[in-house]
Amino acid sequence: MLKLGVNIDHVATLRQARYRGIEGGEPDPVAAARICEESGAHGITAHLREDRRHIQDRDIWRLRREVRTRLNLEMANVPEILDIALRLRPDIVCMVPERREEVTTEGGLDVAGQEAALKRSCARFAGAGIEVSLFIAPDPIQVEAAARVGAGWIELHTGAMAEAYSRSADWGMEAGRLAAAARQAGELGLRVNAGHGLSCQNLRGLFDVPHLVELNIGHSIISRAITVGLAQAVREMLNAMREYPGP
């Protein structure tokens, strides 16, 4: 069964719009995580950015105490966040690129260009018993590099496919790139997640992508929750994912 990890960053984004610099405030991303789990989500994802634009340090420590499924910490491969992650001990970390000017993570990690640094970090996480995923574009060079640095997982960046949803020819091409990358990852012994820009409508493009374990989805669930409530938004996404044929 294809699993769902819910990214709760946008809950914190809404809170920070009103309560930046103030302890507490609403909505509470940890309360949102509880609702997601109670509604069937298989994991919770949160990104502790260097600029703390949404998730705060206090959030991730509360999440570590209260998440009962699987906590996935998205992070840049930088010393400050690496040290926090090693103390926090999430179930898995997903290393992503960060640019201060972007609204959300817009591209995949250049693993091939950062092999030495990523290999050191993967080794540190392995020593602490923390699984590592690398957020990458469906590029054979990046998939090969992910295997070389010692990551056990990759998360395929689905943004290009999601954006091409209304253009059937482009959509099929992007879905084909994802399928090829997933097959390559399977041959290299990597486990495969996917995420970015996914919705109940466009995730159909992933149904021919093999080896998928989990989809990490945030914005479409949180935005849908404004209309129907968070529990219903999670259930709708899980229902849309049921057609996936399996790894």
* Marked catalytic residue, from 10, 42, 54, 196: 196
Cα–Cα distances in Å, from 25 out to 15, 59, 82, 222?
A: 6, 12, 27, 17
Contacts of 215 (CB under 8 A, 6+ apart): 2, 3, 4, 5, 193, 194, 195, 198, 203, 206, 241
Is 79 exposed, middle or buried (CB count within 10 Å of its CB: 0-12, 13-18, 19+)?
A: exposed
User: Is 211 one of the catalytic residues?
Assistant: no
Active-site annotation holds for 47: yes
Known catalytic residue at 54: no
Which one of 74, 98, 131, 174 is the catalytic residue? 74
Q: Which of 42, 47, 54, 157 is flagged as catalytic?
A: 47
Calpha distance 147→220 (Å, rounded): 31
Q: What whole-number distance in Å separates Cα of residue 171 and Cα of residue 18? A: 38
Instruction: Let me know: does 219 contact 198? Beta carbons within 8 Å.
Output: no
CA neighbor of 161 nearest in space, from 181, 191, 134: 181
Question: Is 97 in contact with 157 (CB distance < 8 Å)?
Answer: no
> Residues with Cβ < 8 Å from 237, sequence gap 6 or more?
4, 200, 217, 220, 221
Q: Which two tokens stand for residue 2?
A: 């294809």
CA 69 to chain centre: 15
The residues, ordered by sequence, that sit 6+ positions from 140 with a Cβ below 8 Å of its Cβ are: 180, 181, 184
- The residues annotated with a catalytic role in the active site are 47, 74, 196
